[in-house]
Amino acid sequence: MTWNQVKRFLKMSLAKLKGKKRIHFLHVGKTGGTAVKTALRGNLVSKKHRIFLHSHEYSLRDVPQGDKVFFFLRDPVSRFLSGFYSRKRKGQPRYFYPWNEGEEKAFNLFETPNDLAMSLSDDNTQKQKDARDAMKSISHVKDFYSKWYNNKSYFTSRLSDIILVGRQETLNQDISRLKRIIDLPASISLPSKEKKAHRSPSHLDKDLNEEAIRNLKDWYASDYDFLELCATHADQINYSR
């Protein structure tokens, strides 16, 4: 167990001893999580609850049974676009994470998201392989939602622990709903500046042709299935349809 894990365990134990409800935020990559964390910091403890803000590596299985959970999702194609450009600029300007070997190769081969998505169905076998390798190498792009919910059966077994599943597309409205659900201060708001929110610059080439979109929907088919599952249980988990 690392020192950070020890500190997290001690904080969680202390919160439990004080009788506070423990609420966990799962940070699903490229769904507005950085903005949510920025908004919530400074309001993590109240008389009734203790909110824990986790990294990308923390999943639903890591949350103790009976603790409460919330997280955000996003249309998988839109999430792909955001992930592609986030890693192309190495996380800058808010962060700086150098490319891994696979990312370096991917961004040398594919200039735009459309180039990569189109190559998934290219007649050239090598180009198609390069595209598939890139999809499996680029951080965020390579991650499916199952990284956080594990599998459908496990997710449905934890429905009673989930207090909200929001959407990046309706982030402001969903933060307002979260404030009502767990009685957070009305003054909490999302950051407006791109750097603090870790948003992609607006000038980037995000155009995708029809074939590219079809390829991406096929690639992320399991993520679209998960969105449907959330919609099925929308009332129970406060899912933003």
Read off the tokens for 139: 């951080």
Does a structural domain hold residue 14? no
Cβ atoms of 140 and 79 closer than 8 Å? yes
In a domain, 219, yes or no: yes
Q: What is the pLDDT of residues 163-184, one digit of tens each?
A: 999 999 999 999 999 999 999 9
What distance in Å separates the CA atoms of residue 27 and residue 192, rounded to the nearest whole number? 19
The enclosing domain of 78 has a CATH number of 3.40.50
pLDDT grade for 46, boundaries at 50, 70 and 90: confident
Contacts of 94 (CB under 8 A, 6+ apart): 34, 195, 196, 198
pLDDT greater than 60 at residue 15: no
User: In terms of residue numbers, what domain contains 122?
Assistant: 19-237
Largest CA distance in the chain: 62
Half-sphere exposure of 104 (CA within 13 A, CB side): 5
Residue 8 lies in a domain: no
What digits encode the pLDDT tens for the residues 80-103?
Answer: 999 999 999 987 777 778 999 999
124 located within any domain: yes
* Paired residues of 22 in beta bridges: 50
Output the CA torsion sign for 66, 184, 94, 91: positive
Write down the pTM of the prediction. 0.87
Query: Cβ-count burial of 128 within 10 angstroms (0-12 exposed, 13-18 middle, 19+ buried)?
Result: middle
* pLDDT surpassing 80 at residue 63: yes
pLDDT in tens, 212-230: 999 999 999 999 999 999 9
Is the Cβ–Cβ distance between 146 and 60 less than 8 Å? no
Would 52 be classed as within a structural domain?
A: yes
Residue 6, domain member (yes or no) = no
Q: Where are the alpha helices (DSSP H) in 99-190?
A: 101-109, 113-119, 125-135, 146-149, 152-157, 171-181
pLDDT in tens, 93-150: 777 789 999 999 999 999 999 999 999 999 999 999 999 999 999 999 999 999 999 9
CA distance 125 to 129: 6
Letter string b/e over residues 173-206, b meaning 16 or more CB atoms within 10 A of that residue's CB: ebbebbbeebebeeebeebeeeeebbbbeeeeeb
Quickly tell me which residue has 């800058």 as its tokens: 92
Confidence at residue 197, expressed as pLDDT on a 0 to 100 scale: 43
12 belongs to a structural domain = no
Residue 72 lies in a domain: yes
Residue 16, pLDDT > 90, answer no
Enclosing H/E stretch for 59 = none
Residue type, 51: I
pLDDT digits (tens, 9 = 90+) for 204-214: 888 999 999 99
- Find the mean pLDDT for residues 50-68: 97
What total of structural domains would you count in the chain? 1
